[in-house]
Homo-oligomer: A and B are copies of this chain.
Amino acid sequence: MSQAEKERLLEIRNEIDSIDAEIQTLIARRAECAQQVAHAKTQGGQVDVVFYRPEREAQVLRAVKERNKSLISDNEMMRLFREIMSVCLALEQPIKIAYLGPEGSYSHASVIKQFGASAHTLAVSSIEEVFTAVEKGDANYGLVPVENSSEGAVKQTQQALMKTSLKVTGEIELVIHHCIMSQNEKLENIKKVVAHTQALGQCEHWLKNNMPWVEIEAVASNALAAQMASQDDTLGAIASEQAAQLYGLRVLESHIEDSHENSTKFWAIGSEETEPSGDDKTAMIVSMSNKSGALMDVLSSFASRKISMTRIISVPSTDTKWDYLFFIDILGHKKEASVAEALEEVKQKTSYFKLLGSFPTSPFS
């Protein structure tokens, strides 16, 4: 590097240093504002004040995304502000999040994605316990897996949602990458690849192009596949990086999914209702005595008001009173007039109706 280049580098670094000093001053001012918010909220003498406002956070992140014209991606920029907010919120009132991980770090990663790294966490060992921890006040919020693109809806969460008095306060989606793993060092030595059928489907092209010789077998879950590969060195498993670590396998290649749509959806649950943020979803469970016509009738209550349905899942009921339960998510907040009307109508049309909550649509993509 020439002298001139070195000087140019030093110049840029000095500029970075002064930018950093400015950013830091602003973050410090932001922290003071957060404390003033806390004072304003408790001034009336109230004890049971809510500091964490999901709708406000979603609005701040959307504004960040809207403003972002930088070299940094929208998601990365929002993540930085997510962390700044998390640090400031911890000054107002540290919040504790109960979570569970069937796949360990994914669940934890989604806690951080939603609440930032400054949130306190409480790991529990079943989905039911996540609910109990929040109900008993051991945690302010809970985070539960709702749906996995490779393994479908999470039954325990559905069952707990039916019983709980807690509300859904937010949604988090986490993209999960597939890896091929084995005890073997080389792809060539793998005779058979095992994985959940959906994972095999998602990696079909990669397998054809990179392991044309290989035999393929579907097993119950990717975690089981990894476990099998840890006991047989002619097997390759498709699973998460986390699974490779858990079972002591070598990751031979990662990101092998053909499309990048392998994700898990989580819901945050809490005891408070969330106010409208301007872009929200509403989740509910309904059931009707007569399935076919009745469902169309329910859906028409939304369609006639141009309310979009983002998800519907039918679940065979364990209760004999109803054949099927439907988990329905729509766009809009229950405080919006047309949504309120539609919900009231649906309530009349159904034999079972439970509103799970209205919450901000996630700004992350």
Contact = CB atoms under 8 A, between A and B. Distances in A.
Contact of A76 (B2, B56, B118): B118
Interface in A81-113: 81, 83-84, 87-88, 90-91, 100-101, 104-105, 108
Nearest to A23: B26
A174 to B, nearest CB: 13
A123 B247 CA distance: 12
A19 B23 CA distance: 10
A28 B63 CA distance: 15
A124 B181 CA distance: 10
Interface in A8-44: 8-9, 12-13, 15-17, 19-24, 26-37, 40-41, 43-44
A28 B72 contact: yes
A72 B91 contact: yes
A323 to B, nearest CB: 34
A250 B129 contact: yes
A242 B50 CA distance: 30
A315 interface: no
Interface residues of A, number: 78
Interface string A71-85: 110001101110110
Residue of A22, A68, A76, A104 contacting most chain B CB atoms (<10 Å): A76
Contacts of A124: 250-251
Contact of A40 (B9, B20, B21, B71): B9
A313 interface: no
Contact of A87 (B26, B29, B34, B72): B72
Contact of A63 (B17, B22, B30, B72): B17
Contacts of A121: 241
Interface string A43-71: 11010000000001000100110011111
Given A12-B37, A17-B63, A33-B12, A80 B72 contact: no
Contact of A245 (B16, B68, B125): B125
Given A71-B28, A250-B125, A44 B104 contact: no
B9 A33 contact: no
A1 interface: yes
A20 B251 contact: no
A244 B12 CA distance: 48
A269 to B, nearest CB: 19
A77 B84 CA distance: 9
A5 interface: yes
Contacts of A32: 70-71
Contacts of A104: 104-105, 242, 245-246
